[in-house]
Amino acid sequence: MFTTHGVLHRDVSYGNIMLLPSPKDGMLIDFDLAISANRSSVSAHHRTGTIEFMAVDLLEGADVIHSPRHDIESFFYVLLLLAIRYSRASDGKLQARKEKYRDSIFLENEMMKLGKDAMLHFGTLRAGLMITHKRFCAKVLPTLDRDARDKLGQLFVEWRGLLFPEISEDKQLTEQQLYAAVLKMLETAIERLQGA
């Protein structure tokens, strides 16, 4: 949306993505919180989005202005949620995992207990799991369905590395570079899955 139309969705979430029958087609819906990237001011002076899918920066800081990078991070969490909570049945369809998935980066029951400070606490928790490669691989990847981990683990590790570079701030990609890199990684992952 941003590269083609100059629009920030600001609520990329599991419920706001529709997949169409064609394997390559999908769309974002619910543009209630969307804004033009060319805005001179923001009408909503509060953080927007669905907490489970919000970027770490947005969860932790009330003064952060939503950027395309945050929407890209939200897409990461949507795919991660699917890989944690669903598995492929013998008929090839996705189904909710029968075994209880371990506590992970999505702790909605814990968030409800936190009340008004939920965003800040959840942001701190998520940052702790996402910031380093080692911690992500030790704490988050094991919560994925085994098949998803085998097929998508590399994608998640690479994507996390782009979102949270561990070297220094000057190594962080521009939003255009990040978008292009993520798109290329997703296309490569799709090709790899189709070849398997």
Q: What are phi and psi of 71, to 5 degrees?
A: -65, -40
Q: Are strands 26-28 and 35-36 parallel, antiparallel or unpaired?
A: unpaired
Tell me the C-alpha distance between 16 and 50, whole Å: 10
Rg (CA), the chain: 17
Weakest mean pLDDT among 19-23, 137-141, 187-191: 19-23
Stated pTM of the model: 0.84
58 — pLDDT class (breaks 50, 70, 90): confident
Question: Cα–Cα distances in Å, from 131 out to 11, 56, 145?
Answer: 22, 10, 22
Length of the chain: 196
